[in-house]
Amino acid sequence: MACRPATLTVGVAPVLVGTACAAALGGFRAGPAAAALAGAVLLQIGSNLANDVFDHEKGADGADRLGPPRAVATGVLTARQVRAGMVVVFALAFLCGIYLTSVAGLPIVIIGLASIASAILYTGGPWPLGYHGLGDLFVMLFFGFVAVCGTAFVQLGRVPLLAVVAAIPVGALATAVLVVNNLRDRETDARAGKRTLAVRLGRGGALAEYALLLGSAYAVPLALAATGRPIVLFCLATSPLAIRLIAQLKKTTGRSFNPLLGQTARLTVLHSALLAATLWPW
C-alpha cells in the first residue's frame, strides 16, 4: 500500500525511452540500463514512502481523503516503520548509483543525490516543494529530463539532443498524472495548506495544464517525424485515449478521478513504450 506498485510504471517509462535513445545512437549497454531501471523504480518507491508519512504528519491525508488509502493514515504502518522503509529503499538506490558512477563518473553522484533530495523534499522538510506549487515542475524535471537523459548518459557517456527532445513527452505525461491527483485533492489540499498548482490555478487552470501537457506529448513525435524519423508517428496511435481522457476529466468530480489517474499512468507507459520502440534500431 505504501509503495503504491500501480504507480511504478511511470518510473519505468523514462528508462525505456532513454535506453532507446542510446540504442538509436549505437550505445546500448545492458548493465547500465538495468541499473538505471532499478534505481528509477527504487527512487519512486522511496518518494511514495516519503509522501505517505510526510503528508500524514502535515494533515493532508485526513478522513476526507478521496484517493486510495495511505498506510500511515490508516494505521496499517506506523510513521517510524515507513521512515525505516524509506531509508532502506534509498540505500538500495544509492547502491545502484555506486555502480553507475563507476560506469559514467561523477555526474551520476550529483544526479543521484539530487533525485533522493527531491524525493524527500517533495513533501518533507521545512519548505516542501509540493506544498508550494512546485511539484509539477519537479516531476517534469526528474521524470522527464533527468531520468531520460541520465539513462542515455550512463550508456553513451554523453547526453544527445535526441534524449533531450524525447524527454519532453515522457515528463509531460508523468506530470499529467500528478495533475489528475492534485485536481482530485484540490479542496482537501487547500484546507491542509498544501498549495499545489491545481490549488493555485483552480479547476479551470489545472484542466488547461492537463490538456497542454498531453498536447505537447504528441507535438514531439510530429517534430521528430519532420526531422527524418517518420516511424515515431506510431506514437499517435494512443491519441484517441488522450482525447478521451481530456474530455472525461472536464466532467469528473470526487473519487471518479481515481480511474482517470490510472488511465493517465497507462497512457504514459503506452506512449513511452511506442516512442521507445520506434526509436530502437531494429
88: pLDDT strictly greater than 80? yes
Residue that has been written with the C-alpha cell 522538510 in this structure: 125
Average of per-residue pLDDT across 217-225? 95
Tell me the whole-structure pTM to 2 decimals: 0.95
The number of domains in the chain is 1
What distance in Å separates the CA atoms of residue 259 and residue 263, rounded to the nearest whole number? 6
Q: Give the CB-side neighbour count of residue 46, counting CA atoms within 13 A.
A: 25
Please report the pLDDT score of residue 67 as a whole number.
Answer: 85
213: pLDDT strictly greater than 90? yes
60: pLDDT strictly greater than 90? no
Torsion of CA 11, 21, 278, 31, to 10 degrees: -70
Proportion of the chain above pLDDT 90, given as a percent: 90
130: pLDDT strictly greater than 90? yes
- Cα-based angle 49, 262, 111 (whole degrees, multiple of 5): 45
Residue that has been written with the C-alpha cell 499545489 in this structure: 196
Please report the pLDDT score of residue 62 as a whole number.
Answer: 76
17: pLDDT strictly greater than 90? yes
The contacts of residue 134 (CB under 8 Å, 6+ apart) are none
Q: Which residue, 104, 129, 114, is CA-closest to 27? A: 104
What distance in Å separates the CA atoms of residue 49 and residue 88, rounded to the nearest whole number? 11
Proportion of the chain above pLDDT 70, given as a percent: 100
pLDDT band at 146 (very low <50, low <70, confident <90, very high): very high
pLDDT band at 6 (very low <50, low <70, confident <90, very high): confident
pLDDT tens-digit map of 238-271 = 999 999 999 999 999 998 999 999 999 999 999 9
Average of per-residue pLDDT across 168-187? 96
The contacts of residue 103 (CB under 8 Å, 6+ apart) are 29, 31, 32, 35, 154
Q: CA torsion sign, 102 to 108 to 112 to 113? A: positive
pLDDT tens-digit map of 61-72 = 777 778 888 999
What range defines the domain where residue 119 resides? Answer: 5-279
Average of per-residue pLDDT across 116-120? 94
- Beta carbons within 10 angstroms of residue 219's beta carbon: 13
Please report the pLDDT score of residue 65 as a whole number.
Answer: 79
Please report the pLDDT score of residue 211 as a whole number.
Answer: 98
pLDDT tens-digit map of 186-211 = 998 998 899 999 999 999 999 999 99
